[in-house]
Amino acid sequence: MEYKNKHVLAPMVRVGTLPFRLLAAQYGADITYGEEIIDHKMIKCDRHINEYLGTTDFVERGTENVVFRTCPEERNRVVFQMGTSNAVRALTAAQLVSKDVAAIDINMGCPKSFSISGGMGAALLSKPELIHDIITTLKRNLDNTITCKIRLLKSSEDTVELARRIEKAGVSALAVHGRRVPDRPRDPAKWDEIADVVAALSIPVIANGDVFEYEDFERIKGATCVMVARGALWNASIFSPSKSSWEDVKREYVRQCILWDNDVKSTKHTLKEMIAHYSSLELAEGKAVIKSANTENVARIYGEEDYYLQVSMNRS
């Protein structure tokens, strides 16, 4: 993995599945993160080659639940992001996917209670010794690029101090979300504090926060790479200098979901997020998506019935 002037799709829970990652890459994303997956869940999975789809699936034992799905097409740009609070468990989970992904990233910034209560995510920000243990364990035992993603601490000085310790542990790059743990999405990202981290480190820094237009990639000065979350969720063509209409992007997303047999609950979740931003779930489109029981229903809403039938026939 190279980190120089790259546009990066951020990890987003229930959104960053294979169809959305490939959609972002289609529009120009250089590096694509999967949704955060907890190590406890990953170590309960077995690796399966899905010849039906041409994918590699990590399936929870005793179920048909696909926890992580990838394909050779994204092998050199996909990042497996993991939630963990234990170095040995992190390594066990990472070893399962190590041959199928370009990099392993440790989530050290999630502020949600489920993550913090388990000692994961933002809880790690106050545990530099554990951070060091996790990173060095992965570095010693894997050939993959190892990175992590943090949030800002109480002061810029504290953030820089932690970032330096993380750099010393051996990560290849550090993503910094320009908000503190108590901040809400409506609070402006503090790009100046990300710049302080950039100035203090010699490794690449990936800036994250408040990227909503293609021009924003250039506005965040100094960072080696720029990462986008909500801006990509609302319109994945943000990675292209010539932005497509959200109607076209939605239809292309539906086609990707059909092609890669995405779980319909995941597909509906992402579509609802798009609709809620631009329109309303109370209107006809939103209600139809909510009522959809399967991917065929979703295809019909967006005029992709023929494509759905074509893909289904090719697989039968």
Residue numbers annotated as active site: 110
Q: Report the C-alpha gap between 307 and 300 in whole angstroms.
A: 10
In angstroms, the Cα distances linking 198 to 47, 146, 167, 222, 281 are: 38, 18, 12, 7, 40
Q: Report the C-alpha gap between 267 and 15 in whole angstroms.
A: 8
Residues 116/154, Cβ–Cβ less than 8 Å: no
What residue has token string 């010539």? 242
**Joined tokens for residue 48:** 């399966």
